[in-house]
Structure 1
Amino acid sequence: MQTLTAVERVTAALEFREPDRVPHFDLYWGAFSERWRRSRGLPTDPEREKLDHVDDPEINACYDVDLYVAIADESAWYSQAGLVRHEGAYEIRRDGWGRLVRVRPDARFYAELETPFAEKRALDRLVFDSPAADGRYTAFLHNLAQMRGQPCPPFILCKVGGPYLRSSFLRGEANWLMDMVEDPGFVDALAGRVADHLIAMGLESLRRGQLYETGIAIYDDIAGNRGLTMGPRLYRRFFVPQMARMVAAFRQAGARHIMFHSDGDIRAVLPDLVDIGIDAINPVEPRAHMDALTLRRQYDGRLALVGGLCNSAIIPSGTDEEVRQHVLRVLRAGEGGGLVIGSHTVGPDISQERYDYMMSLIRQYGRYPLRLPE
């Protein structure tokens, strides 16, 4: 088979056709990327080492990354985000969702000090910055131009958040979970307002990026390794209807593919997500019982898988044989298409040698037609 472009390759996989090879999608922590750059004598930047992930076309090209997610600033009040004050080694910042957070410049995590809706207020006074504001799309359009200017441009999805997590930013997670039991009407109203905003952001991102032929990803972390944060009954009650509205709006606008991202074990609501029109999921974490081969057999032809590899145990610390068997099992989920393989995020706990070994297996066994050893 002739070599395909990344757009052709990922499109074929998502539509359950066999491309030339199994497509690949990973994101790289700054610490991993900078270590890789040093190993090849490329220019480095100490500031990039602090980032959770970096857009590095050179490492993407080295490792055959076929998919890219372009992100506009969807936060409610993006124009008001900024530094409030210093407190010793900490910065007190107001983020775009109106939260007051305490951060250290040299740390990846933050402490949430205050949320804008910790006390309930009338939602008719809830006015977000306009989804059409040009400032939301400055970095988005820059990154699109950079990626499209590469010798082998990737398949690009735009991205929006989802109604569960983004609403929790406004209310605070504990309050939000309690609201589902104590005040269902308020949950419906707030999640609906947030979903309206996210729909507008998604439609504008599709339009400005001209990404209709590839599509959009909805990112909403709704689960942990043991299952859904709020349980499947409450998710179906409050959030499946909002997700259905979002998917319908994006489909009507012309989005060809709609991917759903959530860490954790989301098996309990996968039938609901498939029924409303989600056609791909990411990251498919094995440690959360999201086994790629099992899911492929269960949802064959209806749900493509983006991910599947274990970045928390097997790839970082498994033996060579354990890594080999793991990669082969995930590749088997790609027989007949339907798979974009990856480990989601590649952090500094994964050695260069181990990641290179993983990639060598994908390259050796990931060409179609797949010939996988038993």
Structure 2
Amino acid sequence: MLGFWYGKRLITMMMYPEMYQAVINRITDFYLEVNELFYEATKGHLDAVLIGNDFGSQSALMVDPDLLRAYVFEGTKKLVDQAKSYGLTVVHHSCGSIFPIIGDLFDMGVDVVHPIQALAADMDIETLQKNFKNKGAFCGGVDAQELLVNGTPAQLSAAVEKIKQVFPTGLVISPSHEAILPDINPANIEAMYAAVHRS
């Protein structure tokens, strides 16, 4: 059902671009208004804000990057600029394979791209370090699709040590998805966090 809903939105973008843009603009305006109330109410108490939407599938972007640049990123830039005006670090969330637009996100002022979905195409830590070193930070990297669920504590420790070697700075090491699900062995979680804090 979710796939049908996403597909319907993408078809609307192509068939009725003016209507699609009008809807996107209205959504952006809504979030700008609501966020301003939130930022004013929490001024001085926040360090960072998470914004974004899922643009990627396991193997590629769900829509051509030029369409995102044409219809979506103008609103995203407004949301980033608004958060920056309050001195906040901006974390942009999108699951999946989003390699072609990571540069766009950093150019818009995004500070941290979240998450690194480790098994998605072109989202391995070596590729990200090679292409985006010193351009911004990342959050994620520890595979939550297979490794955390089916791996051993020793494998988790080894994976974290590799991440620390390949990406010594500019990376918050965490599961590649924000949730730690019930089917994950607690020993794997413990091993992951112990390896993160091991000097």
Pairwise TM-score range, normalised by the shorter structure: 0.7 to 0.9
Question: TM-score, normalised to structure 1's length?
Answer: 0.48
TM-score normalised by structure 2 residue count: 0.87
Q: Distance in 2 between matches of 1:197 and 1:177?
A: 21
CA contact under 8 A between 2:57 and 2:96: conserved in structure 1? Answer: yes
Structure 1 residue 273 corresponds to structure 2 residue 105: yes
Q: SS where residue 179 of structure 2 aligns? A: strand
**Does 2:181 correspond to 1:347?**
yes
* Alignment match, 1:256: 88
Residue 325 of structure 1 pairs with residue 158 of structure 2? yes
Instruction: Give the deviation of 1:320 after TM superposition.
Output: 4.3
For 1:102-117, what aligned pairs fall within 5 Å after superposition? none
How far the C-alpha of 1:212 sits from its partner, in A, is 7.0
In 1, Cα distance between the equivalents of 2:44 and 2:115? Answer: 21
Shift of 1:286: 0.5
Q: CA deviation at 1:260?
A: 0.3
Deviations, residues 36-56 of structure 1 (Å, cap 9, x unaligned): xxxxxxxxxxxxxxxxxxxxx
Query: Displacement of 1:225 after TM fit?
Result: 0.8
Q: What is the CA deviation profile of residues 121-177 of structure 1, one whole-angstrom value per residue up to 9, with x for unaligned ones?
A: xxxxxxxxxxxxxxxxxxxxxxxxxxxxxxxxxxxxxxxxxxxxxxx9xxx533321
Q: Secondary structure at the match of 2:173?
A: strand
Does residue 303 in structure 1 map to residue 131 in structure 2? no
More strand per residue: 1
Structural mapping, 1:87-98, within 5 Å: none
Consecutive unaligned residues in structure 2, runs of 5 or more: none
Once the two structures are superposed, what CA deviation does each residue of 1:296-343 show, in whole Å capped at 9, x if it has no partner? 3321222111111111111221244432331112223542x3121110
The CA distance in 2 between the partners of 1:264 and 1:352, in whole Å, is: 25
C-alpha distance 352-319 of structure 1, shift in aligned 2 (>3 A): closer
Tell me the residue number matched to 1:362: 196
SS in structure 2 at match of 1:281:
strand
SS at match of 1:288: coil
Which fold has the larger relative contact order, with Cα–Cα distance below 8 Å and residues 6 or more apart in sequence?
Answer: 1
Q: Is the 8 Å Cα contact of residues 212 and 254 (structure 1) preserved in structure 2?
A: no
Structure 1 residue 281 displacement after superposition: 0.9
Write out per-residue CA displacement over residues 151-210 of structure 1, whole angstroms, 9 at most, x where no aligned residue.
xxxxxxxxxxxxxxxxx9xxx533321111111111111101101111222222222122
Q: Give runs of aligned pairs for residues 1-374 of structure 1, distance below 5 A.
A: 172-210=5-43, 214-251=47-84, 253-289=85-121, 290-335=123-168, 337-343=169-175, 344-364=178-198, 367=199
How many residue pairs match? The answer is 195
Identity among equivalent pairs (%)? 22
Please say which of residues 264-273 and 348-357 is displaced more in the overlay. Answer: 348-357
CA offset at residue 272 of structure 1? 1.1
Please give the secondary structure, in 2, of the residue aligned with 1:348: coil
Kindly report the root-mean-square deviation, in angstroms, between the aligned alpha carbons of the 2 structures: 2.2
- 8 Å contact kept, 1:223–1:263: yes
